[in-house]
Amino acid sequence: MHAPLRPVRHHAVDIRLAYATPDNFTGQVIYEDVPAMLHHHAADALDRAAERAWAQGWRIGLLDAYRPGAAQERLWSIRPDPMYVADPAIGSDHTRGIAVDVTLIDAGGMVLDMGSDFDEASERSHHGYAGLDPVALHNRTTLLTLMEEAGFCRHPYEWWHYALPAAQSYPLLHTIGAY
């Protein structure tokens, strides 16, 4: 059996949980009082990515981590599109505690240009989108390299979403107390 969730705590991870604020595609607060938590395998991988980012003068901006089942159901009710939101009946990697939504932040605390907004449901958000300007392409490639070298896999339609491989081997944790 897999170990429980643990809090995300790393000097090079800037926690900016988008769904704890209305600054997301819904314009609503999706969850409150949910700390940034991950399965320890994902937390260790994020720590590795953050160390590499820090060595290059950046920080990882953590936009989402563990997401309770009720929050996943709410997101699905607003955007029932399996390309961008996991069907809660199947399960989300966020609800397993093994997925992160991330970006890169510079030394001054500014989010780097990634060519589209976080949570933008468009082709511009896809890995491999050909219309990116060189700066955004470089930033996305840097993030992709950091995350994949740390052990995460990319989501093809969301430049910000990374998850551990073998997701189905991790249980769904519908509430923090579920473990």
Residues annotated as catalytic are: 158
Q: Is 81 annotated as a binding residue?
A: no
CA distances to 75, 81, 93, 95, 138 from 164, rounded to whole Å, are 21, 22, 8, 13, 23
**Would the annotation count 11 as a binding residue?**
no
Separation of alpha carbons 86 and 176, rounded Å: 19
74 membership: H or E segment, kind and range:
helix 69-78
Residue 94, annotated as binding a ligand: yes
Smallest CA-to-CA distance from 158 within 132, 111, 121 is with 121
The radius of gyration computed from the CA coordinates of the chain, to the nearest angstrom, equals: 15
| Residue 53 vs residues 43, 69, 119, 131: alpha-carbon distances, Å | 15, 31, 22, 25
Residues annotated within a binding site: 94, 101, 161
Residues annotated within a binding site for Zn(2+): 94, 101, 161
